[in-house]
Structure 1
């Protein structure tokens, strides 16, 4: 058989994909014609495709010794040298190919890619341009150049060339991937989603498209679609730690029951198992377990992380969160300060430090205010310069926006319902910005009371601010402050010309961009102005309105009547049970012989935390048999049933209860509170004043004990209080939603006038 015929036969086998037969055919040719360049080059290509790059390089070099003027062979050698990491030899090979054929577009493109790896970006860009000039439809060159432009922040140029790449070849996945990345970077989220979907249609199950698509769905508040995307990624790649981590995080955010919670934890544990050395999966698992009250395991994770990552703000925040939940406030604040030192602009670290300082019985009210001033200073320079001019030039309803992560089954959601239901919709246009993953039944009810209800979970600050600006708000009322899932960075950038803090955060924000703090006369007495960076607005009505939730049980008989002893109780967040609070309660138990104390909190389901809590009381000489530690119960009807076992509710100090005090009173249980100087120390005073029970509010620990002991000493009087308290409360200003709505509307008008 002639050499030409053998060559044609080998080429045909290679084109048909019969690589083994083609390999043998080229070998036969070389056996008889060892200097046959096409055989050497093609055999080299087959060796490279078969995973034998060293053999391929050797064959290409043999071919070039025979035929050094072959640009294709220099090009292929350059590709192999680049893959092998020998960049200098790769560059030499590409340049040799281009010297022999200056119009060799793929060589210009691959040289550009190599130069980009070598950080010679200007030369790389010239190479890509040359490739495109030679072959305008060369998709790889368009994509490579566009990707370089994206890296350099030149979004218009990147968008142009990724678009050209897609137009040149609508079946090229890289074009869709790059286009999606550019559009996402440019905050054109709907278009970016469509681009990634286009790539996914070409490459089903490809993580390069599914992962950013899921993230964009979260960013645009489409959590259900994000859930589907992460699940799809796991179906194609069950060992994707990224997918397990994000799906676990998402499931926990979207949780509607214990099944979602358990599944979230399973995914997070799987992510940790797949990436045992990574910080983020372990931190996320730790935070999730801590929020579920499983502080023992969460604490072990925190200690492990801090032994490995001594400069991790996230690890310190986990340690701080656990310490605060166990009422180890000084340790928690210390951990949060370390986190803030490592990450000075981290909003979560700043917020956790500020919020947790409210629990500190070793800090004065002035010191807490000073801390808020200090930390809020880190947001300086973010204001956008909104002014009142827009309001002056526009007629019509006053536009009020409420911003909250708690438009859901949450105390803030419950307290907002009577306000939203009673707003004068002829005079006020109501906007709600709900930083929630999905609407529950409460959220749906609240949405029905608003003119505009915007889901903003996942939206970045700039997008949310643009939404607020387009809504042309007159007043923005932040209902979160530094509590969980807040958007304080949006408030700091000023979403409205008039901004106020209200309801969800019991005190000052320290932010110069927040103009007013809404409270009442009992919360913010005359002379307390120095404790607020905001101007105090004192409502004539109580600062909140209580309304009972459906299914609330009836008031139970006085437990002391059949127990033969008084039972004090607290259902507050355990972090509020400060050392000063424990000491005061221990003194009260000594003052009322035979009395018992129920403490109910989510974290007390954790055995280790429960032991620590008990030690705090036994350390004051209180017998453990007199303390009844109880974990959480759901639903609300079962939780409220706890008050059937409590004769007198004890408010925490210095940080008072709000919702828990209202719940106790509604269940016929008197609440003893201690009034301090600041907002968070006076919520009990406000609530008791609203129902005309100021006599239950003390000015000192001694008086607190005297009031509680006096109530405990008259069971007949306690029984009468229990029988009548709900009716008294129902007819009091504390349950007047219409009155509170009118007061807030008066305040909003005043605030606008004041800013003018």
Structure 2
């Protein structure tokens, strides 16, 4: 017998001893015996591998990697050495991610043409949330392993993590063709489709993934996200609960479940769950962020602000997309705070600009023709090109803008298209979907399209693309419509509004230059099918009913105190508070209790949610506006129904929305300048039943004939403003 065969036989016998000890549960003895054998056979790939396996199971991660490197060196490198790769992959834990990355880089250095090292390195970067670097690594791996479904899937994951679902979908479609049994690929394909708004297709693929591999907690979580995009919040809640039932420690599900409860109107239940989850995992920023959203909607503003700040404290990268989204929600919340000054709030907006906008600002030389009289390309950017409240104002403008002067482009970030989306597509010259575009890609598209005037319609609302405006991709930029206040961005040139909203030296609270139109800042087109007029409820009830359709966040302690004063002054009067924030009976009772503390009987306070909104308004004799943040469209709807409302003119411009509407319809007498005057005007109006009855019958006609519904006149004023803005730009470039 040859010497090599003798050695081989001896090695097999000795390693069999090690495996027997291991199978008997005597791991320490197996480890000691393996070490002895390694001294005799230091270049055996098998001995090094089993030694590494034992080290890993004993928690000796650094030693595991050393043994794996030695084993790889003994073997060379080839795909058939699957066990080595699998053991290296097991280092991909929170405790050993540094070693996992070190191992991947070692593979790249020693075996650069294999591709596995690049794939593993990409996974390490993915774990660290370095998504752009991970994408680069996966593309290197794909160049070496062009049809490897795992590499294709991992590359798609890095793209999904950058909100680039459209690109990810292309790679994942290849994966499921190559390996139609790869459950994780269907899961990731569902994520990509969910991002670009195709929720139903996403749901189909998540269900396919669960069919292949049932009871995957993370897949149920993602299925819940797809149902949430489809506005099916109850199904989403069911999926999230199933995910937590399968894997109670999957804490990232909690923010999703809490947010779905919030959107489903289960505010108190969402708050309770958030507090329970935070007691288990207090350092999850996403959990603090969703907790803040619920607290805001439940009108616990101070606690919400604290939670937002806590959420912002975790990310090492202060400029991350997560931090940007949280900060924009914080600004949205601050707008409603009843006790903060306009100066303090605007300081927070300036900080947003400093952190999230100015780093991306580029002073550009634009290729746009600087002829002041030529036809201009104007573009509106928003996530609201669907059946959203903006349609009451935006569609009339787009239909009446002068097409001899302007070519109109819609940049749409809509998640879910509907019949209104189709109408927008019909009335603009180009409809361009930006969902899935990165901020840089979107900005590059605006530059390539040679947009002259770029209009933001979103402000700090969900789904905004302010980061694109921060890059200043067009010569002139404007903010208008769906927010009611400054964006804080020094990169945006103008804030388009009207004079009543910015009275009192408002410019110091705006980063944009205020451009106040001569007439209203909008023209309103109602859905007349939803607003059938009814007689004054007083004649049916025998008492005055005050009402509001405001969100909970506006109903602060100042508002409650003044409204309670009004109710106390009008015996037997009632108050109706109606909005989607009051679906939860616990939240209804909590809001009513605030009035009970002022001595108002509980039965005089009706809190709830009606749909359509006109069902609630039919019960109103007089509307009450909120402050310091006024309501918006619901005030116009009250006026259109013949219901007068009292408003308090406060902070520009969110505190003067009610004033703007009343000026537009010719009723400035209902504008108060102090809380005492507000209560006085409400009480005086409540005693004038004859006047209320007249207004109920005639105010719709007044509104229809007012500047508030002069669609053509408003469009011409906007056209004029845009032309003048362009001329100012051309003159500045010529000087």
Q: Tell me the TM-score normalised to structure 1 length.
A: 0.82
Classify the secondary structure of the residue corresponding to 1:569: strand
Note the C-alpha offset of 1:76. Answer: 3.2
The change in CA–CA distance for 1:426 and 1:38 in structure 2 (over 3 A counts) is: farther
Partner Cα separation in structure 1 for residue 193 and residue 667 of structure 2:
50
Q: Match for 2:385 among 370, 384, 407?
A: 407
Partner of 2:620: 646
Matches within 5 A, 1:50-65: none
Which residues in structure 2 correspond to 1:279-290 (within 5 Å)?
279-290=251-262
Mapping of residues 740-755 of structure 1, within 5 Å: 740-755=714-729
Q: CA deviation at 1:725?
A: 0.7
Name the CA distance, whole Å, in 1 between partners of 2:354 and 2:172: 40
1:51-95, Cα deviation, whole Å (9 max, x unpaired): 96999999xx99x989x8998xx2333333334446858966985
For residues 585 and 557 of structure 2, what CA distance do their matches in structure 1 show?
Answer: 20
Aligned with residue 656 of structure 1, among 624, 630, 640: 630
Secondary structure in structure 2 of the residue aligned to 1:432: strand
SS of the residue corresponding to residue 538 of structure 1 reads strand
Aligned to 1:227: 203
Q: Secondary structure at the match of 1:506?
A: coil
Once the two structures are superposed, residues 687-731 of structure 1 have per-residue CA deviations (whole angstroms, 9 ceiling, x without a partner) of 011111111112222222222222222222211111111111011
State the shift of 1:553 in Å. 3.4
Relative to structure 1, the CA distance from residue 241 to residue 158 in structure 2 (aligned partners, 3 Å threshold; closer, same or farther) is closer
From 60, 78, 82, the equivalent of 2:52 is 82
Change (3 A) 1:661 1:206: same
Q: Using a 3 Å threshold, how does the CA distance of structure 1 residues 632 and 495 change in structure 2: closer, same or farther?
A: farther
1:174-193 aligned at under 5 Å gives the runs 174=150, 176-177=152-153, 180=156, 192-193=168-169
Q: For structure 1, which segment, 381-390 or 611-620, has the greater mean C-alpha deviation from structure 2 after superposition?
A: 381-390
Gaps of 5+ in 1: 4-33, 133-140
Of 573, 583, 604, which aligns to 2:561? 583
2:706 equivalent among 714, 724, 732: 732
Among 137, 162, 166, the residue aligned to 2:142: 162
How many Å apart are 1:452 and its aligned residue? 2.0
Q: Which residue of 1 aligns with 2:270?
A: 298
C-alpha offsets along residues 154-197 of structure 1, whole Å, 9 cap, x if unaligned?
9778635533433xxx5x54454456568879999766544433
1:356-405 alpha-carbon deviations (Å, 9 max, x no partner) = 12222212333322332233322243334254633335796322222222
Equivalent pair of 2:366/2:474 in contact (CA under 8 Å)? no
Alignment of structure 1 residues 465-484 onto 2, 5 Å: 465-484=443-462
Taking the aligned partners of 1:365 and 1:70, their CA distance within structure 2 comes to 73
Which of 107, 111, 117 does residue 144 from structure 1 map onto?
117
Report deviation, 1:301: 1.1
Equivalent position to 2:347, from 361, 366, 370: 370
3-state DSSP of counterpart to 1:201 = helix
Alignment deviations for residues 235-269 of structure 1 (CA, whole Å, 9 cap, x no partner): 222322221112212211222xxxx2221111121
CA contact (8 A) 2:329 2:461 kept: yes
Aligned to 1:127: 110
Q: Does 1:685 align with 2:674?
A: no
Q: In structure 2, do the counterparts of structure 1 residues 144 and 610 end up closer, same or farther at CA, with 3 Å as the change threshold?
A: same
Residue in structure 2 matched with residue 269 of structure 1 by the alignment? 241
Residue 597 of structure 2 corresponds to which residue in structure 1? 619
**If you compute each CA radius of gyration, which structure gives the higher value, 1 or 2?**
1
Aligned equivalent of 1:31 = none
Shift of 1:642: 1.8
- Aligned-residue CA RMSD (Å): 3.9
Paired residues of 1:506 and 1:679 also in contact (CA < 8 A): yes
Give the CA deviation at 1:342.
4.0
Instruction: State the TM-score, normalized to the length of structure 2.
Output: 0.85
Offset of residue 648 of structure 1: 0.8
Cα distance in 1 for partners of 2:164, 2:467 equals 22
| Contact map agreement 1:98 1:104 (CA 8 A) in 2 | no
The CA deviation string for residues 271-315 of structure 1, in whole angstroms up to 9 with x for no partner, is 222232333211111111112221121011121133233334333
Residue in structure 1 matched with residue 295 of structure 2 by the alignment: 323
CA contact (8 A) 1:159 1:182 kept: no
Q: Which of 460, 463, 467 does residue 485 from structure 1 map onto?
A: 463
> After alignment, is 477-486 or 157-166 more displaced?
157-166
2:530 aligned counterpart, secondary structure:
coil
Alpha-carbon distance in 2 for matches of 1:93, 1:568: 76
Name 2:220's counterpart in structure 1: 244
Take 1:574 and 1:104, find their aligned partners in 2: how far apart are those partners? 63
Q: Distance in 2 between matches of 1:321 and 1:96?
A: 52
- Between the aligned partners of 1:508 and 1:341, the Cα distance in structure 2 is 25
1:754/1:448 Cα in 2 relative to 1: closer, same or farther (>3 Å)?
A: same
Question: Are residues 272 and 456 of structure 1, via their aligned partners in 2, closer, same or farther at CA, if it must alter by over 3 Å?
Answer: farther
Q: What CA distance in whole angstroms lies between the structure 1 residues aligned with 2:71 and 2:285?
A: 51
In structure 1, how many angstroms separate the alpha carbons of the residues matched to 2:614 and 2:218? 41
